[in-house]
Amino acid sequence: MTTHKVGYFVGSLSQDSINRTLSKALVRLAPSHMEMTELPIGDLPLYNRDLDGSYPAAAQALKDAIAAVDGVLFVTPEYNRSIPGALKNAIDWASRPWGQNSFARKPSATIGASPGAIGTAVGQQHLKSILSFCNSPQMNAIEAYIQFKPGVFGDDGSVSDEGTEDFLRTYMHEFNEFIARVLQVLPPDED
């Protein structure tokens, strides 16, 4: 089996984020031939077009990290029915300067957890719209809006509910297969 390198964003900056906990579960449940690496966003300055000619080191490191992976997974909360500002800021940095969009042709998937029953559905729709504009092929099914219930997720990425664990394992398997299909049709540019 081909090993796919996957970079994942945690949309919240909080170390206690339920989406950070969800990301740990996803890493643990990913197929063994998926190499998962977090793409950190906390040190990025606010995007400013005036810096396009001289990218800050943190922004260039993000672009380099995205270039090094085969696919990108967004694990994000929903803030005010959209995505967190920190995540949008990271997307803005990675998609600029004009003509150097790191997400173009890069397979992506979205998932998120919320205490509410609709589990980030509206925020994910906004994110999918942004990723469409960024020309990122998206895994649109399986959709994954996770209601985060107390006791289901352990801090180590364990999942106590068998149905939830099976769903998340299937989700990660499907994302791996999606990456393989996209890369067959849209192979990465070789420098």
What's the pLDDT at 189? 73
Q: Is residue 125 part of a domain?
A: yes
What's the pLDDT at 188? 83
Q: Is residue 110 part of a domain?
A: yes
Give tens-digit pLDDT for 36-81.
999 999 999 999 999 999 999 999 999 999 999 999 999 999 999 9
CA atoms of 48 and 175, how far apart (whole Å): 33
CATH of the domain at 166: 3.40.50.360
Count structural domains, the chain. Answer: 1
What's the pLDDT at 75? 98
Q: Provide the residue range defining the domain that includes 161.
A: 4-185
Cis-peptide, bond into residue 115, ω within 30° of zero: no
Closest CA to 20 of 77, 84, 82: 77
* Residue linked to tokens 């890069």: 106
Residue ranges in the chain modelled with pLDDT below 70: 190-191
* Residue linked to tokens 């260039």: 60
What's the pLDDT at 190? 61
Q: Is residue 191 part of a domain?
A: no
Q: Is residue 190 part of a domain?
A: no
| CA torsion through residues 134, 137, 142, 146, sign | negative
